């Protein structure tokens, strides 16, 4: 499941870079929102594999794994920028904002994962009728 999430998130990130480089359109915060909705893909895959909705505990566990992968992908992005953000990283405000936004993302990822499974369930039920 985490593999699906990481692949979709990286795909969105690459797409955003290409849009900015070739067309001049920057997604800005839309990139973050798209990354959150990327959690719906593994939710969809979960329902297709199991035929049931994920439990609340499993959804929270997946959100935790998605959040960790987001932080790791963000760290890779910072490392790739070759220290351009060194001053920002030394700011205490940055770390407070980082913690708050990570917590918000964690909750949003949990609900997006469950939402993806719920959407697949609705499609399956609609086809059965």
pTM of this prediction?
A: 0.77
User: Does 55 have pLDDT greater than 90?
Assistant: yes
pLDDT tens readout for residues 63-122: 999 888 888 877 777 776 666 677 777 888 888 988 998 899 899 999 999 999 999 999
Residue 118 CB: number of other CB atoms within 10 A? 17
Please report which confidence band the pLDDT of residue 35 belongs to, taking 50, 70 and 90 as the band edges.
confident
Instruction: Tell me what the pLDDT averaged over the chain comes to.
Output: 83
pLDDT of residue 19: 74
Sign (positive/negative) of CA torsion 7, 12, 16, 21?
A: positive
Structural domain total, the chain? 1
pLDDT tens readout for residues 101-111: 889 989 999 99
Helix/strand/coil percentages in the chain, nearest 5: 85, 0, 15
Residue-number span of the structural domain to which 103 is assigned: 2-128
The alpha-helical segments, DSSP class H, found in 81-91 are: 86-89
How far is residue 60 from each of residues 5, 99, 119, measured CA to CA in Å? Answer: 15, 18, 18
């Amino acid at each position: 499941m985490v593999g699906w999430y990481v692949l979709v998130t990286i795909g969105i990130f690459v797409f955003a870079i290409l849009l900015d480089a070739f067309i001049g359109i920057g997604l800005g915060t839309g990139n973050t929102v798209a990354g959150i909705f990327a959690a719906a893909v593994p939710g969809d895959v979960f329902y297709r594999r199991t035929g049931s909705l994920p439990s609340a505990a499993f959804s929270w566990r997946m959100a935790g794994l998605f959040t960790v992968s987001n932080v790791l992908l963000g760290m890779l992005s910072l490392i790739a920028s070759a220290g351009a953000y060194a001053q920002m990283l030394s700011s205490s405000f940055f770390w407070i904002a980082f913690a708050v936004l990570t917590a918000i993302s964690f909750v949003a990822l949990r609900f997006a994962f469950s939402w993806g499974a719920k959407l697949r369930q609705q499609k399956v039920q609609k086809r059965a009728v």
